Amino acid sequence: METQTINATNLKLKEFFVNQLRDIYWAEKKLFKTLPKLEEAATTPELKDAFDQHKHQTQTHMERLEQVFGMVNERIDSTKCAAIADIVDEGEEIIDETKKGTAQRDTGLIFAGQKAEHYKIATYGGMVNLAKNLGYNNAADVLRKTLAEDKAADALLMQIAERNVNYQLN
C-alpha cells in the first residue's frame, strides 16, 4: 500500500480515481467476455489472432487492476461502464447485421475494437497522471504497462485494416 498526505482535495481526487478504477475494471471484465465472440465472428486469421491475443492481455489487465485496488487500499469492485457497454452492443450489432466471411464484418469489428481501445487509452492515460499526482507512483507504473499494451493493440488493429481487411472486395 502506498502512503499519501490526505487533504480535502486529495480525498476528492482519490474518490474520482477509485471510481475510474471501478469503471475500467468493469470494462476489462466485459471485454474479456466479449473478445471470444469477436474472434469467432472475424474472418481474417490475423484479426482472429489479434482478438485472441488481446483476450489474454485483458486477463492480465484485470489482474493488474486488482493489484492497484490493493495499492490504494480499496476493495476490488466494479461499476458499469456505459461507454464500453455501448461499444460492445455496437460490436454485436455489427455481427448481426453483416454477412459472415466478409470484409465488411471484419472492418466493422476492427472499428469496434479500436473504439474500445481508444476509450481504454484515454482512461488509463488519465489514471496514470492522477495516480502520480496522488503519490501512487507504483500504481501509476502498473497502469502505464496496460496503457502501453492498449496502444499496441490499437496499432495492430490499424495495421490489420491497412494491410488486409480494408482492401478485400467482398
pTM (predicted TM-score): 0.91
**Per-residue pLDDT in tens (0 to 9) along the chain, 170 residues:** 555 555 777 889 999 999 999 999 999 999 999 999 999 999 999 999 999 999 999 999 999 999 999 999 999 999 999 999 999 999 999 999 999 989 899 999 999 999 999 999 999 999 999 999 999 999 999 999 999 999 999 999 999 998 876 555 44
Domain annotation covers residue 2 = no
Domain annotation covers residue 3 = no
Query: How many beta carbons lie within 10 A of that of residue 97, not counting itself?
Result: 10
Task: Give residues with Cβ within 8 angstroms of 112, minimum separation 6.
Answer: 38, 87, 88, 90, 91, 94
The Cα-based distances of 88 to 13, 98, 123 in angstroms read: 29, 16, 17
Domain annotation covers residue 112 = yes
Instruction: Count the domains in the chain.
Output: 1
Angle between helix axes 8-41 and 103-134 (nearest 10 degrees) is 160
Domain harbouring 112, CATH code: 1.20.1260.10
Domain annotation covers residue 151 = yes
Q: Indicate the DSSP class of residue 98.
A: S
